[in-house]
């Protein structure tokens, strides 16, 4: 039978201490032992099912981690206090001083800043490449390379990584393929396509209510155990631990992710088709004009669609700013960074979320001034939304007024 990630969520069965339909929340930072010997064994990692201290693990965090591992189809997972709190420990666990990373150049601004400005202080160098060109990716691999890093759907340009081919490259050179799947939960399952590690910022679609930051690393039991090791585990020692109360609330939101993704995708697809027809430069993986449309189709779990993210180019930063302010005034969404909210969110990535990337590099990768990134919301009547958006664009001379 086909792998259906949402079914994996649906099939999870956790009960609370008193038979509650939700698991009990572990409201403790430390745990008692009946025998001193068991405490010692737990420290050594030899006492399964025992909890020691909540920076290491807690029942609530394990529930959420197991649910996300089931969704991504990995052996296990560990949740973290933020997406960056998942990304940085993984890279520091997999790479030592003197080693090297090959990364997509179109990645989340914070990840880019970490690899470009911070990791070199620890002797870890990164080559940034166009991830859609496999020959360029392969040419950047050196004997020191340990990790191949990319986002399934890149931020903010919505380039698509060919996970199967990248996994084959990783295998050939004995690298770990680490994939940030934040933009395409459920739609694409990178581990199923050969990725070794799948990371999410839970802050975005998965939690979906813009009320917290959070992250997860999905991978093999071996890697997750290494990350949590009390002696040399990066997640354990850097301390980016999620709070139990928060993981319980993220778990509850995760249960409606499949319905939300279907609606985000439906609405984004509708708007992308309309904008493109109106002559606006639109990038959306669901459009036949997207350079990787067929690739996305070949990787996707069809029922969740092409995701909720799209970009349009309105020509200049002035026009982009005017349009975003007007759309906010008309209550079409919020001028805000982040994604995966019930409301549409929009921002101009060149001057916000990707401002860590120097201007020359922005131009080279096609990140133009007039670009607006949309995270399309859960609007019940997307046709109405479109009509109001179109009126805004006409008012600002982005669209020609229609000949009556
Ligand atoms: C937001 C985001 C991150 C960082 O996540 P935080 O939860 O803000 O730390 C990483 N990758 C992508 C693609 C993101 O959108």
Q: Is 356 exposed, middle or buried (0-12, 13-18, 19+ CB in 10 A)?
A: middle
Give tens-digit pLDDT for 2-19: 568 888 888 888 899 899
Q: Residue 113 forms beta bridges with which residues?
A: none
- Residue 404 pLDDT greater than 50, yes or no: no
For residues 11 and 141, which has the higher predicted lDDT (pLDDT)? 141
Atom 12 in ligand 1: residue holding the nearest Cα: 108
Give tens-digit pLDDT for 160-183: 999 999 999 999 999 999 999 999
- Residue 153 pLDDT greater than 70, yes or no: yes
Mean pLDDT of the 125-147 span: 97
DSSP 302: G
Topology given in CATH for the domain delimited by 5-254:
3.40.640
Report the separation in Å between the CA atom of 337 and the middle of ligand 1, taken as the mean of its atom positions.
11
Mean pLDDT of the 347-372 span: 79
- Residue 350 pLDDT greater than 80, yes or no: no
CATH code of domain 258-403: 3.90.1150.10
- Residue 348 pLDDT greater than 50, yes or no: yes
Q: Where are the alpha helices (DSSP H) in 50-143?
A: 59-72, 84-94, 109-113, 134-140
Give the mean pLDDT of the chain.
94
Report the separation in Å between the CA atom of 336 and the middle of ligand 1, taken as the mean of its atom positions.
14
Report the separation in Å between the CA atom of 138 and the middle of ligand 1, taken as the mean of its atom positions.
26
d(CA 17, CA 29): 18
114 lines ligand 1 (CB under 6 A): no
Based on its alpha-carbon atoms, the radius of gyration of the chain, rounded to whole angstroms, reads 22
- Residue 34 pLDDT greater than 90, yes or no: no
What ranges do the domains of the chain cover? 5-254, 258-403
- Residue 1 pLDDT greater than 50, yes or no: no
């Amino acid at each position: 039978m086909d792998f259906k990630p949402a079914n994996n969520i649906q099939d999870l069965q956790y009960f609370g201490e008193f038979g509650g339909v939700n698991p009990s929340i572990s409201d403790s930072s430390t745990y008692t032992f009946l025998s001193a010997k068991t405490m010692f064994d737990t420290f050594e990692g030899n006492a399964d099912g025992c909890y020691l201290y909540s920076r290491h693990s807690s029942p609530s965090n394990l529930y959420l981690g197991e649910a996300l591992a089931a969704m991504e189809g990995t052996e296990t997972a560990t949740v973290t206090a933020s997406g960056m709190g998942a990304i940085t420990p993984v890279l520091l666990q997999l790479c030592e001083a003197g080693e090297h990373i090959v990364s997509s150049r179109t990645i989340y601004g914070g990840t880019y800043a970490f690899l470009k400005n911070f990791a070199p202080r620890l002797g870890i160098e990164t080559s940034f490449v166009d991830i859609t060109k496999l020959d360029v990716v392969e040419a950047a691999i050196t004997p020191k390379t340990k990790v191949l890093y990319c986002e399934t759907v890149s931020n903010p340009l919505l380039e698509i990584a060919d996970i199967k081919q990248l996994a084959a490259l990783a295998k050939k050179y004995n690298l770990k393929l680490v994939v940030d799947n934040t933009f395409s939960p459920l739609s694409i399952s990178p581990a199923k396509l050969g990725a070794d590690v799948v990371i999410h910022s839970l802050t975005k679609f998965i939690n979906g209510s813009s009320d917290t930051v959070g992250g997860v690393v999905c991978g093999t039991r071996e890697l997750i155990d290494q990350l949590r090791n009390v002696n040399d585990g990066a997640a354990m020692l850097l301390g980016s631990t999620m709070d139990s109360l928060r993981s319980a609330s993220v778990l509850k939101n995760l249960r409606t992710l499949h319905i939300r993704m279907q609606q985000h995708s439906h609405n984004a697809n509708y708007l992308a088709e309309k904008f493109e027809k109106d002559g606006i430069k639109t990038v959306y993986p669901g459009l036949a004009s997207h350079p990787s449309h067929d690739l996305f189709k070949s990787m996707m779990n069809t029922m969740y669609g092409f995701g909720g993210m799209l970009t349009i180019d309105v020509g200049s930063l002035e026009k982009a700013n005017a349009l975003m302010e007007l759309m906010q005034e008309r209550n079409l969404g919020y001028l805000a960074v982040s994604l995966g909210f019930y409301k549409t969110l929009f921002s101009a990535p060149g001057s916000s979320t990707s401002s860590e990337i120097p201007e020359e590099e922005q131009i080279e990768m096609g990140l133009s001034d007039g670009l607006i990134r949309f995270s399309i919301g859960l609007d019940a009547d997307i046709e109405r939304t479109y009509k109001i958006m179109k009126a805004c664009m006409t008012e600002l001379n982005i669209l020609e007024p229609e000949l009556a």
